[in-house]
Structure 1
Amino acid sequence: MAQDDPPEGWSPQERQMWEAYRVGEWCEEVAEVRGSALRHLLIAAPSSRPGCQARLRLRGAHVTGELDLAEVTVTGSIRLDRCRFDDVPRLDNAHLDAAFQLISCTMPGLSMVGARVTLECEVTACTVTGTVDLRSLTAGNWLSLKDTAVRPAPGEAAIDAQSVDVGEDLLAPGLVCTGPVFLNSARIQDALAFRGTCIGGDAGCLQAPALTVGGGLYLDSGFSGSGQINLYGASIGGSVNMSDCQLDGPGPGAGAYTLNLACAEIGGDLQAERGLEVRGPIDLRDTAVRGSVVLKGARFDISASSPTADAALNASRLRVGGDIDCRGGFVAHGMIDMRDSRIGGSVLFDGAELNSLDNRHPALRGNGVETGGVFNLRDGFTAHGRISLNSVTVRSRVSLDDAVIDTSADEWAMSFDGSSASSLSLRLREAPAGLVVLQHSRIGLLRDTPTAWPAGLVLDGAVYDSLHPTLPAEARLPWLRRDPAGFVPQPYEQLAATYQRQGRDADARTLLVAKQRSMRRTLSPVARLWSLLQDATVGYGYRPLRAVWLLLCLLTTGTALFTAWPPTTVGDGEAPPFQAAIYTLDLLLPLVDLGQEGSYAPTGIMQWGAVALIGTGWLLATTVAAGASRVLRRA
């Protein structure tokens, strides 16, 4: 037998395949070939015909027996189209110097563990009733699983591609798997595309922790997954696109996330412009996104996972270079948790609807968030549950214009405790029944509307530079009196200081007097009496003209009385001429001697009048001094 002749005992169809290989043409009229014949052809390959490229192109053949190419080196390309295999083709640790393609083939599985394909590796539009095992596969160009259906036995993996290394793209649009896909520690130089892919089954969905993708990751265009998608610690050089994507979680259970992107690095955007629906919790903790997180129109729901799941989206310690955009009809049934996140751009929940499923968790928890842009919860934003924004730092404005916070009266609606913003707008669509907490916050401009003032408002320690609208002090007093703790002095002082900066001294004094009157209810009976006296006489030092008018009234009264019933001279010395007005003034002014009080003494009932004038003078002087001291301390 010559070296380029087929072996003895081969069937005419196998001899035909041998000759087609030597000229590199398709062999299409072969109904059946043995797997051992294919192996012999590829190992002991005949030389090509002059001017031809030797390669295997086989279409429509039934391959009987096992095709075993394990640890084999093949120089030419392999293309098998619409072939049917009785046994699992095995190419473990094979070295294929050209392309390897299985197109529209049917097989009970495929094993390419540790194989090396110099060019593209393609399993397209195939039907596989077992596992496609690609562990540690190396593909020099792209790896394609396009339109392939993989239906393994229950409990088995559909595709096991752990530690694969792909020189260009891994493409799997239209892939259908009834078992999980494993891409643990896989490395894809360019894009990883699962567009229109359906992955599901009892054993899970996509497991790809420590995945490395140089380009983008595409779970879009009708992608659907049942079970967990685990991308923990993944490194994605481009964007992650999840538009028109539906994910069904693994169900109740601690740590059972539908999408786990915790500790991941994303070089572009995390994008879902439309159609993202996730049933089950999402984990974005400690993830870094260089671009923006765009979740316009997305719908998150953990109602089937409660009470084991705390949040529909757990994005605590998330770092985003751009915006978090949850506009366009975003809906979440379950808490949105953004604690301690760092956002370079803005946080946008305009028109979104957030629903807390129980009283244990708020609808939105953003404690410790820092953002360089705006934090918008406006334009129809609705929260069925609390909003917690404690210790937040917002470089620009926080806006709740036309927002609704739906809580019961026995819980707080919004907390902005210890936070700072250049502007805070609380012009809500309707007044919240719950408590709004602004204590210890620092705000440049505070905007609100009287028709939407909350039933309870905590302002203790809040500092703001200006307030809009600038209502008269009397109109603002009900706003200050909404603290459920009762009287708290600092909010009065803060609002008075704001009026003073605006040049509205009369309003400032009105606020300070109101503060003293409110404080009076907290004092002991004696202190309360002293407070009443200060209020009546000098308005706690903020109404000094009252003391002048009271002094004039007492002077006039005393002058009239002592003119009608003058006192008698005291002693043997020569007394100055009696002047009723000066004598009255000498009695009223303590520590002042005008020479009349020591020279004359009232008689009869006028002695009691003199005592009343002296006592009134001391009280007047003391209250004036106390009020002046209070005013000077403020100055």
Structure 2
Amino acid sequence: MMINDLTAAERRVWDAFPLGAAVDFRAVDSASAVAEDAADGAGWGPERTVRARVLRALLLTAPQEEGEVAALKIEGARITGGLDLKYATVDSVVRLSGCHFDEVPDFSGARFTYLNLTKSVLPGLRSARMRVDGGLRLTACRFRGPVRLTGAQISGTLFMERAEFTAPDDEAALRLNQAEIGEELCAPGLRASGEVQLGGAHVAGAVDLRRARLHRPGGTALGASGLVTESDVVLRHADVSGRVELRGVRVGGWLELSYARLSNPGGTALRVSSSVISELWLRNGPPVEGVLNLRRAQIEVLFVEPDMLPEQVLLNSLTYTSLIPHERAERRLPMLESDGEAYLPYSYEQLTTAYRRIGDEDAARRVQLAKQRRHRATLRWYGRLWGYAQDATVGYGFRPLRAAVWLLSLMAVGSVAYAVRPPSPLKADEAPDFNPVVYTLDLLLPIIDFGQERAYAPEGATQWLSYVLVITGWILATTVVTGVTRTVSRQ
């Protein structure tokens, strides 16, 4: 392009580039400049319009000024035409802030030193496999179409604070699949209408999505399967309408969902199955609307408040070391019983281990008792019948005092009955003196022999009572032995 082809606005940019000087097309009045909105850029006149091919020529062919650092720094311009930098190497700093792009820029495969599009409005962005040796700043940008950063390599931080992404229903709003970010993904306050994709991305620092608003009802709002970060994934105060897909992620720090609202009625709201996470925080927010899937996840610290849990929680093969905050067993058990599976003994064992680790043996016993009751429902009728007997008598060995209550109650009944109607001696001259209490004990305790049962023969109703006492005694003794054996083997 010849110099004489440039407009006055383009001449300003062309002359400023070799010196690294900034060109500000905004209103002269500072108050008016602050109030300007790049969304209105389609109406800006030629005095602040720059053709995209002029910028391309500057970045790729413009001569350098000796002793100066060239840089493209423009603010408040309307950029017409498509800025095509596919596979180009741009050695200069590029800052196009507060600009309005008429067409989608194409940076696919390009290499930048630094790229800043803060507060600009764009119809989309094509930048797959782009490489930025420094940082990429999309702060407060508004994208009216898909943004493709698949496979991008960013050595520094990717800034997307308060950025807005909008895409048609059949396309993802933001694609960062397989991207590599050398520092942080900093995107507090991000807004997205459409899916945000982070599948297979690797972030050395934190993924900061605090106060993010992700909207894709009935679909996947955040798809980050296989995401790897050495630090935290923060969704504190986030508002998500749609599915949060975090299957197979590796999070070296926290996955924090404190104060977050997760809503996907009729589907999965949050899935972290097959993931390895240092700490998962789900607290101080409204109840999750949808299914919570934690299957096969490995979590060091699971910070989950029962009030946030949905009606269905999938826990098959979930492994965790600590469960906080400390809650009564009755508050935790509904989580185990909400899984779609009929009976998952491993989930009960995990909760039991968590309680024992902090020394709460009573809560651990309650969980084990609930486990036996849940298991009972899977047995045949005779197994269930025997289970009811164990539960009623000694609580499957976890309520040993029940045996004493049963024993004392039956002793009282038998002692009164046989005191009122004592049985007749089989041999009057050889029978020991009758004692209704000892006689009842002789019937109840199948192993101990006090000599009363063999010496006296009850009749009528007291004979039927003796049958009941003998049978009950055997059941009671068997269940006690079963419970004690279970307790000893567990310890």
Q: Bin the TM-score by the shorter chain.
A: 0.7 to 0.9
Match for residue 15 of structure 1? none
Asked whether the 8 Å contact 1:187–1:212 carries over to 2, the reply is: no
Amino acid at match of 1:505: E
Q: Deviations over 1:61-112 (max 9, x none)?
A: xxxxxxxxxxxxxxxxxxxxxxxxxxx97xxxxxxxxxxxx4xx2489xxxx
Match for residue 267 of structure 1? 133
Match for residue 357 of structure 2? 501
**Local SS of the residue matching 1:503:** coil
Alignment of 1:441 with 2:297, yes or no, is: yes
Q: Deviations over 1:149-183 (max 9, x none)?
A: xxxxxxxxxxxxxxxxxxxxxxxx97722769768
> In the superposition, relative to structure 1, how do residues 571 and 370 fare at CA in structure 2: closer, same or farther (>3 Å)?
farther
Amino acid at match of 2:262: I
Amino acid at match of 2:109: G
Alignment of 1:280 with 2:154, yes or no, is: no
CA distance in 2, matches of 1:534, 1:263: 65
Asked whether the 8 Å contact 2:165–2:173 carries over to 1, the reply is: yes
Question: Which of residues 550, 568, 576 in structure 1 aligns to 2:406?
Answer: 550
Asked whether the 8 Å contact 2:442–2:448 carries over to 1, the reply is: yes
Alignment of 1:193 with 2:69, yes or no, is: no
Per-residue deviation, 1:259 = 2.3
User: What pairs with 1:247-262 in structure 2 (closer than 5 Å)?
Assistant: 247-249=122-124, 258-260=125-127, 262=128
Match for residue 195 of structure 2? 335
CA distance in 2, matches of 1:277, 1:469: 40
Per-residue deviation, 1:364 = 0.8
Q: Deviations over 1:41-73 (max 9, x none)?
A: xxxxxxxxxxxxxxxxxxxxxxxxxxxxxxxxx
Alignment of 1:596 with 2:451, yes or no, is: yes
Alignment of 1:346 with 2:189, yes or no, is: no
**Local SS of the residue matching 1:630:** helix
Asked whether the 8 Å contact 2:228–2:251 carries over to 1, the reply is: yes
Asked whether the 8 Å contact 2:122–2:142 carries over to 1, the reply is: yes
Q: Give the structure with the higher percent helix.
A: 2
Asked whether the 8 Å contact 2:19–2:71 carries over to 1, the reply is: no
> In the superposition, relative to structure 1, how do residues 383 and 431 fare at CA in structure 2: closer, same or farther (>3 Å)?
same
Asked whether the 8 Å contact 1:367–1:390 carries over to 2, the reply is: yes
CA distance in 2, matches of 1:145, 1:508: 69
Q: Deviations over 1:244-276 (max 9, x none)?
A: 322214xxxxxxxx322x223322111123x31
Amino acid at match of 2:224: G
**Local SS of the residue matching 2:478:** helix
**Local SS of the residue matching 1:125:** helix
Amino acid at match of 1:474: E
Question: Which of residues 457, 470, 474 in structure 1 aligns to 2:326?
Answer: 470
CA distance in 2, matches of 1:470, 1:411: 29
> In the superposition, relative to structure 1, how do residues 632 and 453 fare at CA in structure 2: closer, same or farther (>3 Å)?
same
- Give the alignment's TM-score, normalised by structure 1: 0.63
> In the superposition, relative to structure 1, how do residues 383 and 528 fare at CA in structure 2: closer, same or farther (>3 Å)?
same
Q: Deviations over 1:285-326 (max 9, x none)?
A: 2222221111112111113xx42x2x1111111111211111
Question: Which of residues 238, 241, 244 in structure 1 aligns to 2:119?
Answer: 244
> In the superposition, relative to structure 1, how do residues 206 and 593 fare at CA in structure 2: closer, same or farther (>3 Å)?
same
CA distance in 1, matches of 2:448, 2:22: 109
Amino acid at match of 1:177: R
> In the superposition, relative to structure 1, how do residues 418 and 144 fare at CA in structure 2: closer, same or farther (>3 Å)?
closer
Amino acid at match of 2:201: S
Match for residue 11 of structure 2? 125
CA distance in 2, matches of 1:550, 1:107: 101
CA distance in 2, matches of 1:220, 1:313: 20
Match for residue 51 of structure 2? 177
Asked whether the 8 Å contact 1:124–1:144 carries over to 2, the reply is: no
Amino acid at match of 2:126: L
Amino acid at match of 1:280: G
Asked whether the 8 Å contact 2:52–2:83 carries over to 1, the reply is: no
Question: Which of residues 104, 107, 124 in structure 2 aligns to 1:228?
Answer: 104
Alignment of 1:207 with 2:84, yes or no, is: yes
> In the superposition, relative to structure 1, how do residues 227 and 510 fare at CA in structure 2: closer, same or farther (>3 Å)?
same
CA distance in 2, matches of 1:543, 1:511: 12
Per-residue deviation, 1:209 = 2.5
Match for residue 46 of structure 1? none
**Local SS of the residue matching 1:244:** coil
User: What pairs with 1:41-190 in structure 2 (closer than 5 Å)?
Assistant: 102=3, 105-106=4-5, 125=11, 176-177=50-51
Amino acid at match of 2:457: P
User: What pairs with 1:302-381 in structure 2 (closer than 5 Å)?
Assistant: 302-303=167-168, 306-307=169-170, 309=171, 311-327=172-188, 329-356=189-216, 359=218, 361-379=219-237, 381=238
Per-residue deviation, 1:544 = 0.9
Asked whether the 8 Å contact 1:194–1:223 carries over to 2, the reply is: no
Give unpaired runs (5+ residues) of structure 2. 24-46
**Local SS of the residue matching 2:356:** helix
Per-residue deviation, 1:231 = 2.2
Match for residue 474 of structure 2? 618
Say how many residue pairs are matched.
456
Asked whether the 8 Å contact 2:20–2:70 carries over to 1, the reply is: no
CA distance in 2, matches of 1:107, 1:444: 62
**Local SS of the residue matching 1:229:** coil
**Local SS of the residue matching 1:210:** coil
> In the superposition, relative to structure 1, how do residues 145 and 507 fare at CA in structure 2: closer, same or farther (>3 Å)?
closer
Amino acid at match of 2:50: V
> In the superposition, relative to structure 1, how do residues 607 and 269 fare at CA in structure 2: closer, same or farther (>3 Å)?
same
Asked whether the 8 Å contact 1:296–1:325 carries over to 2, the reply is: yes
**Local SS of the residue matching 2:287:** coil
Amino acid at match of 2:372: Q
CA distance in 1, matches of 2:54, 2:275: 45
CA distance in 2, matches of 1:336, 1:376: 15
CA distance in 1, matches of 2:208, 2:410: 66
Q: Which has the higher contact order (CA 8 A, sep 6+)?
A: 2
Amino acid at match of 1:351: R
CA distance in 2, matches of 1:456, 1:320: 35
> In the superposition, relative to structure 1, how do residues 325 and 187 fare at CA in structure 2: closer, same or farther (>3 Å)?
farther
CA distance in 1, matches of 2:321, 2:392: 32
Higher-Rg member (1/2): 1
Asked whether the 8 Å contact 2:100–2:121 carries over to 1, the reply is: yes
CA distance in 2, matches of 1:631, 1:367: 42
CA distance in 2, matches of 1:182, 1:535: 80
CA distance in 2, matches of 1:289, 1:553: 77
Match for residue 120 of structure 1? none
Please tell me the root mean square deviation across aligned C-alpha atoms, in Å.
3.8
**Local SS of the residue matching 1:291:** coil
Which piece of structure 1 moves more, 238-247 or 553-562? 553-562
Per-residue deviation, 1:421 = 2.7
Q: Deviations over 1:352-389 (max 9, x none)?
A: 21111x63x3111111212222211113x211212111
User: What pairs with 1:416-495 in structure 2 (closer than 5 Å)?
Assistant: 416-485=272-341, 488-495=344-351
Asked whether the 8 Å contact 1:370–1:392 carries over to 2, the reply is: yes
Q: Deviations over 1:325-347 (max 9, x none)?
A: 111x3211111111121111111
Amino acid at match of 1:313: L
Asked whether the 8 Å contact 1:354–1:383 carries over to 2, the reply is: yes
